Amino acid sequence: MSNTNTNFSAFFTNFKSVFREEKVFSANYIPNHLWHREEEMESLVNYFRSIITEPIASSRKVVLYGPVGTGKTVVSRAFGTDLIKHLKAKHKPGDPVFRFFHVNCRKTKTPHLILTTILRQLVPGFPLRGYSVDELLRMFSLLLHEQNLVSLLVLDEIDYLLPDNRTDFLYALSRIEEGNPKLRDDHFSNLPGNQNESRFNLLCCTRDKNFRYHLDSSTISSLGRNFITFPPYTRNQLFDIVNSRAELGLCQKSFDDELIESIAGLAEEYGDARFAIELLWRAAKLADREKKEQITVEHVRKAVVSVLPIEKSIVDDLSTHQKLLLLSIAKLLINNQPFVTSPEVKNSYVSICEEAGVHPRRQTQVWAYLKDLARLGLIQQEVENRHKNGRSEGRVTNIRVRDIPVEEIIQTLSHLIEDSS
């Protein structure tokens, strides 16, 4: 009989992962602290404060707008979770019970499915088929009254609902308790409680700046006025977000400020926290795969390739001197440096030209090539004003490689030097 305790067990026990808690990198993880969203969270609380103070007196509809990875989902989910806790703690007999529904419209694509998903949470085993959207809306409204509930529905990634569906559905939802004749036909004329009660609140998350212009005028009047904008994160904000995720999920020794700084630098252009966190996670995975205890900037560069695929043909199409320049940058960065300065690049370029047996181009031409490489998205340049003891030491340009691991650049371009020797 074979001994099953051989090959893998040795691997498992000897393996020292850079991860402490990998789950903090998962999509539905909600961190305890949300960075740099204080204003947006305050607006959210202000709009929905009546859920706490006068739960059934008025109904609120709010839209969160922001580009990819700006925290709309995590903020809305954290808001719902905290609201549940808060209202549970102060609940007294007879008070309405708060129910929070978070529906992702990319996964739950039709109004019918959205409503059955909600109803199944209120009535276990509620049938998936057999009712029209209008009927489901009425049942939802009725259940809110019958079960003495006050609700907040988040329609996340609402852009994925088909435009026609979206307009009609939002119209119906925005009127759910405002005497819509469709909702208040004979069957519902005997609803318990006051007809002016409002037990339904709505929060829509969208990436579409023009969201409100796709609504019809009556829906705009109830939904389109309350907008909270989530701007893209700045580099420093991304640093804080990624750094705190690293502290939660990784071994202390596996990362340092320089690594997090390089991730924030790469993600800055998009202002996207998801991209930044995913870069860190992938870089950490690569470090594990290579059995390294430290995550390096090179791991991050390799990770970028899998997150953002880049066209190798861009490098193939460069002129010889542009390639030599890129190679000289890559050679400087191979020792896990996050960036190099322009004078360093110039010196390295001159010596690489010598190795390749070609005359280096003049400085102005080299700067023009650097601009070309930046325009093609291969490098990123930043001007830094340097100070020492309070005195200005002038400006220097820092250069980073984007999207391609420097190892790969060196492998692809080294023939330019080797062929000539």
Tokens 């960075």 label which residue? 35
Q: Residue 112's CB: how many other CB atoms inside 10 A?
A: 17
Among 63, 74, 203, 266, binds ligand ATP (CB under 6 A): 74
Nearest residue by C-beta to ligand ATP?
Answer: 71
Whichever of 65 and 339 has its CB closer to Mg ion, that residue is 65
254 belongs to the binding site for Mg ion (CB under 5 A): no
Binds 405, which of Mg ion, ligand ATP, none (CB < 5 to 8 A, cut-off by type)? none
Whichever of 37 and 323 has its CB closer to ligand ATP, that residue is 37
Answer left, alpha or beta for residue 54, where phi above 0 means left and psi between -120 and 50 means alpha: beta
Binds 37, which of ligand ATP, Mg ion, none (CB < 5 to 8 A, cut-off by type)? ligand ATP
Q: Which value, in Å, is the radius of gyration of the alpha carbons in the chain?
A: 28
40 belongs to the binding site for ligand ATP (CB under 6 A): no
Rounded to an integer, what distance in angstroms lies between the CA atom of residue 145 and that of residue 164? 29
Binds 343, which of ligand ATP, Mg ion, none (CB < 5 to 8 A, cut-off by type)? none
157 belongs to the binding site for ligand ATP (CB under 6 A): yes
CB of 100 to ligand ATP, least distance (A): 16
Counting beta carbons within 10 angstroms of the beta carbon of residue 367, is it exposed (0 to 12), middle (13 to 18) or buried (19 or more)? middle
Output the six-digit token pair for 348.
């390295």
Query: How far from 344 is each of 317, 334, 340, 352, 416, CA to CA, in Å?
Result: 25, 14, 7, 12, 20
DSSP state of 19: B
x/- mask, Mg ion, residues 57-96, rule CB under 5 A, reads ----------------x-----------------------
274 belongs to the binding site for ligand ATP (CB under 6 A): yes
Site residue total, ligand ATP (CB under 6 A)? 19
72 belongs to the binding site for ligand ATP (CB under 6 A): yes
Among 55, 66, 249, 360, binds ligand ATP (CB under 6 A): 66
Overall size of the chain counted in residues: 421
Q: Residue 80's CB: how many other CB atoms inside 10 A?
A: 21
User: Interface with ligand ATP by CB under 6 A: which range of 15-23, 61-69, 325-333, 413-421?
Assistant: 61-69
CB of 157 to Mg ion, least distance (A): 6
Query: How far from 68 is each of 65, 72, 208, 274, CA to CA, in Å?
Result: 10, 9, 10, 8
Tokens 């994160």 label which residue? 233
Interactions with ligand ATP, residue window 237-256 (CB under 6 A) = 241
Adjacent-strand bridge partners of 201? 152
Among 207, 212, 214, 292, binds ligand ATP (CB under 6 A): 207
Sheet containing 379-388: order of strands:
340-341, 391-401, 379-388
Binds 36, which of Mg ion, ligand ATP, none (CB < 5 to 8 A, cut-off by type)? ligand ATP
CB of 247 to ligand ATP, least distance (A): 12
User: Interface with ligand ATP by CB under 6 A: which range of 166-174, 269-277, 298-306, 360-368?
Assistant: 269-277
Whichever of 241 and 413 has its CB closer to ligand ATP, that residue is 241
Output the six-digit token pair for 293.
């205890």
Alpha helices in 15-66 (DSSP H): 38-53
DSSP for 340-361, written as a single string = EEHHHHHHHHHHHHHHHT-PPP
Residues forming the site for Mg ion (CB under 5 A): 73
Residues forming the site for ligand ATP (CB under 6 A): 31, 34-37, 66, 68-74, 157, 207, 241, 273-274, 277
